[in-house]
C-alpha cells in the first residue's frame, strides 16, 4: 500500500479502503493524475501554506470521488466515495475536521494581513 491510506464510509463508520492511487514515491498530484482524478474543488488559499481540503473526481473508474484533507505539512486523511450521495455522507462525517481546516485558514489569513500592514 502507498503511504496514503484511504478510508470510506461503511454503515456509518469510517473503514480502511483500498488505496485508489497507483504506487508513488513523492509526487502526490502526479499520482492523482495518473489514476484519472481531476481536482474539482479546493479550499487552498493563494500563497497559503496552511491546511486545505480538495475534492477530486474520476469519471472513468471507482471510487469516483477522493477527498484529500491536508494539514500545514502533511496529509491528514484520504477519503473515498463511489457516488455523490456517498461523497456527501463522507463530508458530513468529517465535518469537525473540515471546521478545523477552516479555522486554520482564517488564522493564516489574519497573520498574513498583519504582516502585510507592517
Find out whether 65 and 86 touch, Cβ atoms under 8 Å.
yes
Give the pLDDT of residue 87.
96
Model pLDDT for residues 46-96, shown as the tens digit of each residue: 665 678 889 999 988 889 999 998 877 777 889 999 999 999 999 999 988
Dist CA 1 CA 10 (whole Å):
20
If you average pLDDT over residues 5-22, what whole number do you get?
90
How does the average pLDDT of the chain come out, rounded? 82
**What distance, in Å, lies between the first and last C-alpha atoms of the chain?**
47
pTM listed for this prediction: 0.79
Cell of 17: 479502503
Percent of the chain topping pLDDT 90: 38
Give the pLDDT of residue 49.
62
Give the pLDDT of residue 85.
96
Give the pLDDT of residue 25.
64
How far is CA 11 from each of CA 8, 30, 82, 84, 95, rounded to the nearest angstrom?
10, 32, 14, 16, 17
Ramachandran sector of residue 14 (left: φ over 0; alpha: ψ -120 to 50; beta: rest): beta
Dist CA 4 CA 47 (whole Å):
25
Amino acid at each position: 500500500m502507498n503511504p496514503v491510506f484511504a478510508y470510506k464510509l461503511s454503515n456509518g463508520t469510517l473503514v480502511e479502503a483500498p488505496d485508489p492511487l497507483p504506487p508513488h514515491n513523492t509526487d502526490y498530484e502526479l499520482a492523482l493524475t495518473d489514476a484519472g482524478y481531476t481536482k474539482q474543488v479546493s479550499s487552498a488559499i493563494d500563497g497559503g501554506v496552511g491546511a486545505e481540503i480538495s475534492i477530486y473526481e474520476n469519471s472513468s473508474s471507482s471510487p469516483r470521488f477522493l477527498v484529500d484533507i491536508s494539514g500545514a505539512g502533511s496529509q491528514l486523511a484520504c477519503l473515498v466515495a463511489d457516488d455523490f450521495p456517498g461523497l456527501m455522507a463522507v463530508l458530513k462525517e468529517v465535518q469537525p475536521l473540515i471546521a478545523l481546516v477552516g479555522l486554520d485558514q482564517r488564522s493564516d489569513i489574519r497573520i498574513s494581513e498583519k504582516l502585510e500592514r507592517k
